[in-house]
């Protein structure tokens, strides 16, 4: 395999990892903002909430506990973990090619 082709796959793998990590970071930030009762009128908090809700749309209300912080942790934490695991697995597969 040529060195140039291998460098391209490393760049693609790095891009996949960065996207997965940023996605998980946004979801983790929303969990932190929710648990710490951040001001939802703040633009940053609003942006993170909107982005996290969109990213976790497929798992929204998957868990319906009565405890709000636990429900938020599970409904946004599960997608964060899945995005990390799948992203890093795809990146490892890209690097092997």
Would you state the structure tokens that stand for residue 20, as one six-digit string? 């997965």
Rounded-to-integer distance, Cα 46 and Cα 36, Å? 14
Which of 23, 87, 90 has the alpha carbon at shortest distance from 54?
23
Convert the pLDDT of each residue in 23-34 to its tens digit: 999 999 999 999
pTM of the model as a whole: 0.84
The whole-number pLDDT of residue 86 equals 96
**Measured torsion, CA atoms of residues 64, 67, 71, 73, in degrees rounded to the nearest 10:** -170
Which of 57, 55, 47 has the alpha carbon at shortest distance from 23?
55
Convert the pLDDT of each residue in 1-41 to its tens digit: 455 555 566 889 999 999 999 999 999 999 999 999 999 99
Rounded-to-integer distance, Cα 1 and Cα 42, Å? 51
């Amino acid at each position: 395999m040529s060195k140039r082709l291998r460098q391209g796959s490393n760049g693609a793998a790095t891009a996949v990892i960065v996207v997965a990590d940023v996605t998980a970071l946004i979801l983790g930030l929303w969990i932190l903002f929710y648990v710490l009762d951040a001001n939802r009128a703040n633009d940053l908090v609003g942006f993170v909430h909107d982005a996290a809700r969109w990213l976790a749309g497929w798992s929204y209300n998957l868990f319906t506990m009565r405890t709000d912080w636990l429900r938020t942790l599970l409904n946004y934490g599960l997608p964060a973990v899945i995005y990390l695991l799948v992203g890093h697995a795809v990146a490892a597969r890209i690097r092997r090619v």
